[in-house]
Chains A and B, each alone.
Chain A
Amino acid sequence: MSELNELSLAEARDGLKAKRFSARELTQAHITAVERARALNAYILETPERALAMADASDAKIAAGAARPLEGLPLGIKDLFCTEGTKTTAGSKILENFTPHYESAVSANLWRDGAVMLGKLNLDEFAMGSSNETSAYGNVISPWRRTVDRVVSDAPIVPGGSSGGSAAAVAAHLCLGATATDTGGSIRQPAAFTGTVGIKPTYGRCSRWGTVAFASSLDQAGPIARTVRDCAILLGSMSGSDARDTTCADLPVPDFEAAVTRGVKGLTIGIPKEYRVDGMPAEIQRLWDQGAAWLKDAGATIKEISLPHTQYALPAYYIVAPAEASSNLARYDGVRYGLRVPANDIVGLYEKTRAAGFGREVKRRIMIGTYVLSAGYYDAYYVRAQKIRTLIKRDFEAAYAAGVDAILTPATPSAAFGIGEKASADPVEMYLNDVFTVTVNMAGLPGISVPAGLDAQGLPLGLQLIGRPFDEETLFAASQVIEDAAGRVSLPKPWWA
């Protein structure tokens, strides 16, 4: 057997159960890997002492025959989830020294089930970004590198965003799995960029309580892991109703892991023609066709469908999300917690604190959001965007009503790009990364990104499956078919260690 941190989460779980190694050994292997991989900047904060203490507690449970579902499994936590007694920054300077007195619902569920926390993972500031370059704690570097003319380039690649730390850490074996959040693609795009699996469940599947808010009507937590099964296991623990979040669904959590091997026989998979966007690279189209063929071979029916309002999703998203963000981020004012830059009066305190505490992208979105909610613009922007949102939702409802069980699309319009390549570009170019993923958030549906191959430069590409509300099980079943057919992608040599 190779290093313990190279096991899948399911393998590690089974190994612990069979007492082939201890939770402490498993955790220590991860701690060592994390320490060696600091060049990736995936973790904002490492918590090795806490990890080992939790691992020892897990070993005691295992010895007592009282192992819980995730007993002793080391995970990374996106630094958007508040962790009691452990700093939580949201990737922002404004929360640089913020230590919550409470634990987010999602992470609390993981600890309830016996998981071990390795540390807090880097992200775009307040989850606003698609490359992890907006983090106040430096960008994350993907463990992947381009191969050009059979030479591995040492130009650093972005891991995607906003859950770039989560995706990079999972891909580089710096944790067995990670929590992530997805407001417009922030789980699925980095998963696609790093050859990992990421699922954004249905809006309301996971409680938002204790997760720093970006856009409340779109934010949803989910896992990133190296296999479809691992994602299913993690989502099972992360999910569940919560009376503290009234938008959280009061539904039982299905056995997601059992759904993984269900297969796709008899299912109808829709291929939306509107996702065939102008200028889409041929290799993306090929990958998409290949995915459809794999599903067909496994017994699914492939059907072309129309989601006519798709083209309006991205502009509408970039109205709704900043609008909500502009209001959600008003609480960072220097009065009660977080950064405070002193000034002579209260307006000065607000201005100086927020000027120093927020980065460019966050400021940009606060300004966009403030603008679209302003008197005289509200109807033209916010109200129309909400109407588009309804139309997008109806597009999906019509497709599902016509017998489609899940929808297959590319996860991203391209493979990962180099760090800095788009940093100076028009921000809209960066926003275009979300073109295939935002529709899912706007409609509140579940979506999963699963690795399906590599591009010409050896970088991973992902396919996205979109499901009916609260039918993540079908997504796990169909993704497993793709994972089985594509084979698990193997990382380049760990150049960072």
Chain B
Amino acid sequence: MNAPLNPKKLIKGGLHDWEVVIGMEIHAQVTSRSKLFSGASTAFGGEPNAHVSLVDAAMPGMLPVINAECVAQAVRTGLGLKAKINLRSVFDRKNYFYPDLPQGYQISQYKDPIVGEGEVLVDLPEGESITVGIERLHLEQDAGKSLHDQAPNQSFVDLNRSGVALMEIVSRPDLRSSEEAKAYVTKLRTILRYLGTCDGDMEKGNLRADVNVSVRRPGEPLGTRCEIKNVNSIRFIGQAIETEARRQIAIIEDGGTIVQETRLFDPGKGETRSMRSKEEAHDYRYFPDPDLLPLEFDQAFVDGLAAGLPELPDAKKARFVADFGLSPYDAGVLVAERASADFYEAVAKGRDGKAAANWVINELFGRLNKEGLSIDESPVSADQLGAIIDLIGEGTISGKIAKDLFEIVWTEGGDPRAVVEARGMKQVTDTGAIEAAVDQIIAQNPDKVAQAKEKPTLLGWFVGQTMKATGGKANPAAVNALLKAKLGIE
């Protein structure tokens, strides 16, 4: 499934080169109004325990009822991962005691998940792409939150998150570097956001990763893995993998062995720390939840959801390359966010696709990044940007003037065409006016004229002078043609 071993991906140890092997479990909060098994709201940021139903608080005699929208979201996600959708799946109880786990068990899916095997195509920066296998996706309840900093001798519990639906997406150990891991999470996040099944907001903890890391000498069997729990940013995922891989390499090269355990990444100290070893691992006593019947639906339900899926990033990228003549790289940049891709398409519609891509990627994204704005917050609309590109295409303004125009529209707004009219930014195409300017410059610079006959590159100097003289509004093609003729340059 993977490309042949790339020596650049290996990590140099003191003695050998090492290959790092990574698999991921991503916990993605399902976008839904209410929780997986109760009607309580999933809204973020409420007062502690404001969004807690009797079911979420595990009051005696309360029973879970599956939220159909969460099921639909899991199926949509499965379809987006090109995965097998299981028409019958089972909810199990994962039993353990914790104060923010009111039932004393988490309802999860153990043996029979709702989604089976799938795959994600991941593009890497150098143009390479890899396919990462998805082992499964299952639905489960989130836990609440323990607050240890509210009182000296007590901990408080906030159950607002208790029972919120999560999708756990388990990858195969197909990743071979921290770069690949980061690219995988980024791509998965893009797919989830396209589907609208998870907002991917890692700051709010709506997407978090458990990262399984092991190292081996190339060609050898898999090493013992450690699981780094709950890493909550893409940057930290990269750092955690690098740190953990180097820790393992150092141990093995020192003659030690890796102990299978769960570890935590401390970004402040740049280290991973042991949380619990395999021996201390909980015995979760999984068994089918007798309060819930097996989850069953028919193929027509799946087909209906499939029909309603949006175009996904891979398909969109391929279409942008085919229809707009974009490079795969540019297409990849544009489809990374659905909103960006939509913006681009609105700009490119009926126009030159490459020109539109250049403007969107270089001017617009550049400016947005500088200001820290998202595409939805762009002060320049797709219509406005399209109008600027039209003005260039018609020859009404030059590319240089267009950048000024973009700046005006960005800061002041307005219809670009009207701005060009009002501010006299129109390009001069009247050859007479340009000729007058050219003649003047030739007359004033006889030495340069003489040199130009020997050294045709001096043409650029004459062009610059002419543009300056015309306030940048002269049509550069006309200027070029006139100068060449008058200076006798072929």
Contacts from A to B (Cβ < 8 Å): 81-82, 88, 90, 95, 98, 100-102, 104, 208-213, 215-217, 243-247, 323-324, 326-327, 329-331, 333, 335-337, 346, 350, 370, 373-375, 378, 382
Chain B interface category by residue count: 20 to 34
Alpha-carbon distance between A212 and B58 when the two chains are bound, in angstroms? 11
Judging by beta carbons under 8 Å apart, are B60 and A335 in contact? no
Which among A333, A374, A378 has the highest number of chain B CB atoms within 10 Å? A333
Q: B37 CB to closest chain A CB, in angstroms?
A: 10
Most buried by B among A82, A101, A327: A327
Contact partners of A350 in chain B: CB under 8 A: 97
Q: Which residues on the A side are within 8 Å of B58 (C-beta)?
A: 331, 336
Are B97 and A330 in contact, CB atoms less than 8 angstroms apart? yes
- Which residue on chain A has the smallest CB distance to residue B98? A346
- Please measure, in the bound complex, the distance between the C-alpha atom of A216 and the C-alpha atom of B287, giving whole angstroms: 13
Please indicate the chain B residues that have their CB under 8 angstroms from the CB of A216 in the complex.
Answer: 289-291
* B34-64 residues at the A interface, CB under 8 angstroms: 54, 57-64
What residues on A are CB-neighbors of B102 within 8 Å? 331, 335-336
| Contacting residues, chain A, for B99 (C-beta < 8 A) | 333, 335, 346
Contact of A209 among B61, B104, B157 (CB under 8 A): B61
Known A246-B65, A247-B293; contact A102-B285, beta-carbon cutoff 8 A: no
Smallest beta-carbon distance A369→chain B, Å: 9
**Across the interface, which residues of B come within 8 angstroms of A346, CB to CB?**
99, 155
Asked whether B298 is an interface residue with its Cβ less than 8 Å from the other chain, the reply is no
Indicate which residue in A247, A331, A370 contacts B103 across the interface (CB closer than 8 Å).
Answer: A331
Residue with the greatest number of chain A CB neighbours at <10 A, chosen from B57, B60, B62, B155: B60
Instruction: Give the complex CA separation of A337 and B293 in angstroms.
Output: 28
Q: Which residues of A contact B63 (CB under 8 A)?
A: 208-209, 244-246
Chain A residues whose C-beta falls within 8 Å of the C-beta of B57 in the assembled complex = 336
Besides A247-B293, A327-B285, 13 other A-B contacts (C-beta < 8 A): A95-B60, A208-B63, A213-B60, A246-B291, A323-B287, A326-B95, A326-B285, A327-B105, A330-B95, A330-B104, A336-B102, A337-B59, A378-B285
Number of A-B residue pairs, CB cutoff 8 Å, is 97
Closest to A374 in B: B283
Is there a chain A Cβ closer than 8 Å to B292's Cβ? Answer: yes
For window 93-126 of B, CB contacts with A under 8 Å fall at 93, 95, 97, 99, 102-105
Bound Cα distance from A244 to B95, whole angstroms: 23
Task: Give the distance to chain A from B63, nearest Cβ to Cβ, in Å.
Answer: 5
Interchain nearest-CB distance for A316 vs B (Å): 14
Residues of A within 8 A of B93 (CB): 327
Report the bound CA distance from A337 to B52 in whole Å.
Answer: 15
Determine if B54 and A373 form an interchain contact, defined as CB atoms under 8 angstroms apart.
no
Q: Which of A211, A335, A374 interacts with B61 by CB under 8 Å?
A: A211
Is the CB–CB distance between B155 and A88 below 8 Å? no
- Any A CB within 8 A of the CB of B66: yes
Tell me whether A243 and B65 are in contact (CB under 8 A).
yes
- Complex Cα distance, B60 from A101, in Å, reads 11
Asked if B66 and A333 make an inter-chain contact with CB atoms under 8 angstroms apart, the answer reads no
Residues of B within 8 A of A (CB): 54, 57-66, 93, 95, 97, 99, 102-105, 155, 157, 283, 285-287, 289-293
| Minimum C-beta distance from B379 to chain A (A) | 49
- What are the residues of chain B within 8 A of A335 when measuring CB–CB? 99, 102, 157
Inter-chain CA distance A243–B68, complex, in Å, is 13
For A243, the chain B residues whose CB sits under 8 A away are 65
Q: A208–B105 Cα gap in the complex (Å)?
A: 19
**Which 9 pairs across A and B sit closest by C-beta, in order of nearness?**
A330-B104, A217-B290, A373-B285, A216-B290, A331-B58, A210-B61, A212-B60, A375-B283, A216-B291
Asked if B290 and A330 make an inter-chain contact with CB atoms under 8 angstroms apart, the answer reads no
Cβ–Cβ contact B283 & A247, under 8 A: no
CA A331 to CA B104, docked complex, whole Å: 5
B313 vs chain A, min Cβ distance (A) = 37
Q: Are A247 and B59 in contact (CB under 8 A)?
A: no
CB-CB under 8 A from A209, the residues of chain B are 61-63
Which residue of B is nearest A351, CB measured?
A: B97
Partner of A330, one of B60, B64, B65, B105: B105
7 A-B pairs within 8 Å (CB atoms) are namely: A245-B63, A246-B65, A326-B95, A330-B97, A331-B60, A331-B103, A382-B287
Residue pair B60, A98 in contact (C-beta under 8 Å): yes
| Chain A neighbourhood of B66, CB < 8 A | 246
**Chain A residues with CB under 8 A of B60:** 82, 88, 90, 95, 98, 100, 212-213, 331
Give min CB distance, A178 to chain B, whole Å: 18
Residues of A within 8 A of B155 (CB): 346
State the Cβ distance, A191 to closest chain B Cβ, in Å.
Answer: 23
**A375 (CB) vs chain B CBs: closest residue:** B283
Tell me the complex Cα distance, A211–B63, Å: 10
Give Cα A32 to B289, complex, Å: 45
Q: Is there an interface contact between B61 and A247, defined as CB atoms closer than 8 Å?
A: no
A330 adjacent to B293 (CB under 8 Å): no
- A213 touching B61, Cβ below 8 Å: yes
Kindly state the separation between the CA atoms of A212 and B157 in the bound complex, as whole angstroms: 24
Contacts of A245 in B (CB 8 A): 63, 65
Chain B residue at smallest Cβ distance from A369: B285
A contact residues around B292 at 8 Å (CB):
246-247
**Least CB distance, A232 to chain B, in whole angstroms:** 26
Contacts of A247 in B (CB 8 A): 290-293
Also in contact, A82 and B287, with CB within 8 A (given A102-B54, A327-B105): no
Q: What B residues does A88 contact at CB under 8 A?
A: 60
A262 to chain B minimum Cβ distance, whole angstroms, is 32
Q: How far is the CA of A215 from the CA of B288 in the complex (A)?
A: 13
Cβ–Cβ < 8 Å partners of A215 in chain B: 290
Q: In the complex, A346→B157 CA distance in Å?
A: 12
**Interface residue from A82, A102, A327 paired with B95 (Cβ < 8 Å):** A327
Contacts of A333 in B (CB 8 A): 97, 99, 104
- A217: nearest residue on chain B (CB-CB)? B290
The minimal Cβ–Cβ distance linking A371 to chain B, given in whole angstroms, is 10
A305 → B minimal CB distance (Å) = 29
CB <8 Å contact, A330 and B103:
yes
What's the Cα separation between A326 and B286 when bound, in Å? 12
CA distance A433 to B449 in the complex (A): 118
In the bound complex, residues from chain B placing their C-beta under 8 Å from that of A327 are: 93, 95, 104-105, 285, 287
